[in-house]
Amino acid sequence: MGEVIYINNQNLSVKEFQNQRVVNFQDIDRVHNRPDGTAKRNFNSNSNRFIEGEDYYLICKDEFRTDLWENFGFSKFAAKGYLITETGYLMLVKSLQDDLAWEVQRKLIKNYFRAKEIVQQPKNEFDLMRQMIDQIELAQKEASEAKQIAENIKDNIIHTDQDWRDWANKQLNRIGYQMGEKYQEARRMSYTILENRGRCRLDVRLNNLKQRLKEAGASETQINKANKLDVIGEDQRLREIYKSIIEKMSIKYSA
């Protein structure tokens, strides 16, 4: 960090995290000439659509030196902060579709996020040969990774009709591990997607299920053990939608 890029009459300090360029909410508001808090409000309104580690990073002050923390643009009194990646930025500016937003978006993507991707031309035959060898090695590596991904996908989705609850739990545990051991977050994400796609409220259905169990004379233990997977299992339509969601999440996080 330390490099500055000039966009829309604003100086934008270059920030990098996890080897990629990022921005904070204040950066987005400044270059788009929006009131302070606009980007953060849009993010909070659609937080379920953003994926941590892909669209944004939530970082804590305790993990950084004070000077580095302030270089990210955060107040030294802030306990945590959000860093927005290129995909997160593109999602955030969907709501800013005036002419200025389009122009700034083009400049920010080209001159900020992807500025590091400019490939230097080979200077001589040796450089050209080295570049060709690197490309061959990269292709071999990608082919090996693709084969492994295909094996993971096959293992993830081949038995979806056999005891689907056990299958769902197994896949969610695997997805949670691949997300960085965020098991509960993986499960919450899958339920949120299901509620949006299936237009249902799982909490309401779960309460109704527990009430039916109580009226049927079920024990307290049986009632307390009822969960959202039981709710989904009762509805053929929801079950098929949920299978599809887990399959797609498995493919995504296997990759």
- Predicted confidence (pLDDT) per residue in 133-162, tens digit: 666 666 666 666 666 655 555 554 444 445
The one-character DSSP state at 181 is: S
SS3 string of 185-242? HHHHHHHHHHHHHHCCCHHHHHHHHHHHHHHCCCCHHHHHHCCHHHHHHHCHHHHHHH
User: Helices 236-254 & 125-157, crossing angle to 10 degrees?
Assistant: 150
Tell which residue, 182, 180, 203, 181, has the closest CA to residue 191. Answer: 203
Report how far apart, in Å, the C-alpha atoms of 202 and of each of 191, 193, 196, 219, 248 are.
8, 11, 11, 22, 20
Instruction: Give the per-residue pLDDT at 157.
Output: 46
Is residue 74 scored above 60 in pLDDT? yes
Q: Where along the chain do its domains lie?
A: 4-117, 160-254
Tell which residue, 2, 115, 64, 43, has the closest CA to residue 12. Answer: 2
Of residues 146 and 212, which shows the higher confidence score? 212
Structure confidence by residue, pLDDT tens digits, 242-255? 989 998 888 887 75
Nearest 10 degrees: Cα torsion 215, 220, 226, 231? 10
Position 107 confidence tier, pLDDT thresholds 50, 70, 90: confident
| Distance between CA atoms of residues 173 and 194, nearest Å | 17
Q: How remote is the C-alpha of 116 from its chain's centroid?
A: 22
Position 56 confidence tier, pLDDT thresholds 50, 70, 90: very high
Is the pTM for the entire model greater than 0.75? no
Which residues fall within 8 angstroms of residue 134, CB to CB, at 6 or more apart? none
Burial grade of 201 (CB within 10 A; 0-12, 13-18, 19 or more): exposed
Position 4 confidence tier, pLDDT thresholds 50, 70, 90: confident
Instruction: Give the per-residue pLDDT at 110.
Output: 74
> In whole numbers, what is the pLDDT of the chain averaged over residues?
81
Q: Cα-flanking dihedrals φ and ψ of residue 76, to 5°? A: -65, -15
The one-character DSSP state at 110 is: I
Cα dihedral 201, 204, 208, 209 sign: positive
